[in-house]
Every structure is written in C-alpha cells, then in structure tokens.
Structure 1
Amino acid sequence: MAEAPRPLSIKLTWAQRMRTLLLTCAVVDATDVEAVVSDFATNSERPSTVVIRMRGPSPDGAMAPEGGGPLMVQYEETLTFYDAIDPSKVFVHAAGRNVYIRLTKHKGDGGGSGGFFWPRLLKDGADQKRRRNITVDWGLWKDEDDIAEEAEEEEFASIGAFRAFTMSNGVNVNGGGDPNIVAKMLNPDV
C-alpha cells in the first residue's frame, strides 16, 4: 500500500498587535482549512502550539490524473508560539490567494503576556531563524509606539466627537450656552 505523501510547508507571514497575532498563509484556493490550538492551560505559562492544515492546488501546477482540475495536496504547519493563545478566539478566513488567521493572545493570571508585544513569533528563536517559510508581514506590522499613538488619536477623536455632540445640542464647551443642557436632556423635569 502506498504511503500518503508528506504535507507541504505553508509559506506564511505574521504581524502582531497588543492582543492578537495575524497570520497570512499563501495557499491559493485553499479548502478544508483548520487551525487547532493545543498545549493550552488556563493558568499556565506554557506556550501554545497551533497546527494549521489545509488543502490546496499543487504549487508546481500539476493536474489531477483524472483530469478534473489541479492536483490538490495537503499543506500543514506546526507552530509552537512564544506564549499562550486563547483557543476559543481563533478566526480563520480563506479568501482566494491567501488564508488569514487571527489568534488572540491569552491574558491569564499565570504570567501570560496577553496585551504585550512578543519579541518573536516562536518559542525557540533558533527554530524561527531556520524556518525560511515564515517571515514578518511588514505591510501589517505596527510597532508598540504606533499602537500607543493610535490609542492617543482615538482618545482625542472621542473628545472631538463629544465636543461636536455637546456643541450641536446647545452647549458651548468654551463657555456660554446653557450649562445645564445635559442634565435637562437626562431629566426633562429640571
């Protein structure tokens, strides 16, 4: 009996935010996509392992022997991350040329680093250097400083929205107008 062919590696790029990892897998027209998180314990400092599996056309363009289109092959990648991933918050979306996976970093009491930037994707830095199929997605990458600036801009935007709301309702936030307008809106008997 013939042995099943070994799954092919997935070319993937990654980026991170404070609480999420974004993986992009370069497999065209992928089907049967799954990302399974294992090695997760709620109050553990152990890193999570994710196994990504999918089927897609052979990268060399081979055709199926029965003539029904491209030869479909199995792709698989196993990643042991730097820290823990929340298995209940895994989002997978196959879209034409790529498969997008969003993973949420675990924010546990046991030392998990959810809410922080990881210094690297994988637990073993040497392993990450050996794996030439994994690269940083500079198009999606944001530094910690960029994230802090965005949070500050959002805060200022919300202040601006509040100013626009109060000004449109008769309150001049720079002085003047009816200072009790908010109280009147909440309680018409005032």
Structure 2
Amino acid sequence: MTTDTLRPPAGTVARRATEILTAIKADPEYRAFETATLEYSSDWECFTGFPVISQWHLEKDAPALLEEGLRALVLKAAVYEMTGDEHAAEIPVAVPVDEMSHAMIAQPQLLARITARVGVSVIHQTDQEHTDYRHGDYTHAAYIAAWGEPPERYWISHEETERRRAHLATRYASIGLRRSGREHSIDFATV
C-alpha cells in the first residue's frame, strides 16, 4: 500500500487543516511564535531554497511565506491525525515553503506549547520530507479545498524548481561557489 492510498480524501484533510490553522492563530503565544520565526531571518541563508523565488526579497516575502509554511504544516498535521502514519503525513511541499517550515520548527519551545494546546503533532523530518510538490498532486488538491489556489510565487512545481536550481548553480559557480554554495576554495587567511 502506498502513502497516497493511506491518505484521507483531500477535502477531509482540508476541513481539519483549516480548523487547526484557526486554533494555532488563536493561541495566546502565536504572536510570539510569528515574531520569533520572522526574526530567524539572519540564519535563512540557503542557496537553493528561498532563492528559487523570482526576485526574492527576504523582508517582503517572509510574512506571506510564514502563512504558506503554516498551511503546509497544518495539512501535514491533519493527515497525521487521521492516519497516525508519519510517512503518509510527509506530503509533497514546495521547496520555498519547506524552507519556511524549517524556520518555524527552529522555534521548538513555542511551537511545542502551541501544538500541545491545540492537540496536534507537527510532522517534519528532513530524511522523510518530500519537496517534489507538483500542481495537481495530493497537496495541491488539499490546499485548494482549504484555501483556494496556492500562490504560484511560493508553491513552485518540482520541475520548475529544479530548472531554477540549475540556473542558480551556474550563477554561483561563476563567482566560485561550487555545488550551489556547499563548497568553495576561498582562503580567508589570504584575503
């Protein structure tokens, strides 16, 4: 049985996800969580996540991405609540949205307290995550059922993300950053 066959109908997940999102935003510590997540920006220096967004601008894009990251996490929480299966809950998510979810998860105490009060589990494990989101997939269907069409600025399909990453890799290499920023030969003692 595949994870797709374990997942509940997208509309059912959507209804529960909207309830979870409303509860999270109503939590007394939500504003502190939001502030802490957005202030995490000095550590958001990933070369292949957020930069796949056209004309990316951290301060301008962060609030909208926070909303998208929350939506992804509550969709995953709803799937987990209905299945009890962490693998099924790791639904495909767009790369920039996944990057924002990392910023949220980096606020573990606040997030743990909020989700405990709401009564849900946040599911996100790097070695199990799926950043192969595509228009028309399960995530897309659940998102549409919950909130309408996702913003294409952030919910970039897998193939387009890979095309943009290849372009970024070429640009990075031209200034000496190899493997999309995972390696360089700069000797700071000599500069």
Superposition TM-score, scaled by structure 1 size: 0.30
More helix by share: 2
Superposition TM-score, scaled by structure 2 size: 0.29
More strand by share: 1
